[in-house]
Amino acid sequence: MKRRVINSMLVLSLVASAFSCKSDKKTETSEVKETKENSEMAVTYNVDVEQSKINWVGSKPAGEHNGQVSLSEGNLKVENESLLGGNIVIDMTSIDVQDLEGDDKKKLEDHLMGYSNGKEDHFFNANKYPEAKFEITGMEEKEGQTILSGNLTLKETSKNITFPVSVSMNDSDNSVMLTSEEVVLDRTEWGIKFMSKSFIENLGDNFVNDDMKISFDLKAFKAE
């Protein structure tokens, strides 16, 4: 199987096992940036939502939880084996907790999605904000890595985030694989302040860490 690594890369990361061997350096954030207009020669690759996922990890002093979130749709724009742009839509009603079972699993999922009475806005309030979005705004080579920038929208807040990524093309099935390195986000920058000791005093060990970790594993196929 012939593979060619594109000298460009992508994406958002919510990964349990992969995170353990990477640093917890916080991902750079800035104000929203404009997306670039794609070339007419750019080829569209549609994200396969069945074969793509976003992994996530959240933690507190007592331990951590991990899981996945599904995508609703997405596409990537490629020209001359370089990633030019693209976007993905994240289904926030699909938050899945993978380290728990039974009632504990459902209870945490309901809390994260805001389905528990009185806890609607503690985290992601999926009834009010069923989708999150990520739009690519740029890429550059830096210190031997390909660095991706894009606007991440959670709830009503958008921030531009910058992180290392990797993209490869597969000639045998006209597909593109996109993976990100660890992305460490400060959830409070998106207004998610529940049990944050940055905003609430005297929590002791009953706080939830501000950092949340995500990673993207995406597969997209050339549009016909």
Q: Which pLDDT tens digit goes with each residue over 13-35?
A: 333 333 333 446 789 899 999 98
Average pLDDT (81-90) is 92
Distance between CA atoms of 103 and 80, rounded to whole angstroms?
50
Confidence of residue 211 (pLDDT cuts 50, 70, 90): very high
- For residue 13, which of 213, 178, 198, 209 has the smallest C-alpha distance? 213
What is the predicted pLDDT for the residue at 140? Answer: 86
Measure the CA angle with vertex 131, ends 46 and 82; round to 5°: 30
Number of C-alpha atoms within 13 angstroms, CB side, residue 93?
6
Q: What is the bridge-based pairing of β-strands 82-91 and 71-79?
A: antiparallel
Answer left, alpha or beta for residue 69, where phi above 0 means left and psi between -120 and 50 means alpha: beta
Poorest-pLDDT segment among 45-49, 137-141, 174-178: 137-141
CATH number listed for the domain at residues 3-222: 2.40.128.110
Taking the whole predicted model, whether its pTM rises above 0.85 is answered as: yes
Confidence of residue 145 (pLDDT cuts 50, 70, 90): confident
What number of helices (H) and strands (E) belong to the chain? 2, 14
Q: What is the bridge-based pairing of β-strands 211-222 and 43-47?
A: antiparallel
Residue 203 has pLDDT above 90, yes or no: yes
Residue in this structure with the two tokens 């060990």, named with its chain if needed? 205
Q: Where are the alpha helices (DSSP H) in the chain?
A: 16-19, 102-113
Q: Tell which wins on pLDDT, 187 or 7.
A: 187
What is the predicted pLDDT for the residue at 188? Answer: 97
pLDDT tens column, 88-135: 999 999 999 999 999 999 999 999 999 999 999 999 999 999 999 999
Torsion of CA 50, 101, 124, 114, to 10 degrees: 120
Average pLDDT (73-89) is 92
Instruction: Determine what percent of the chain is predicted with pLDDT higher than 70.
Output: 89
Indicate the SS3 state at residue 187: helix
Average pLDDT (69-79) is 96
Which residues on adjacent β-strands are paired with residue 186? 211
Average pLDDT, rounded, for the chain: 88
Distance between CA atoms of 169 and 65, rounded to whole angstroms?
32
Which amino acid makes up residue 214?
Answer: I
Which amino acid makes up residue 36?
Answer: K
What is the predicted pLDDT for the residue at 4? Answer: 52
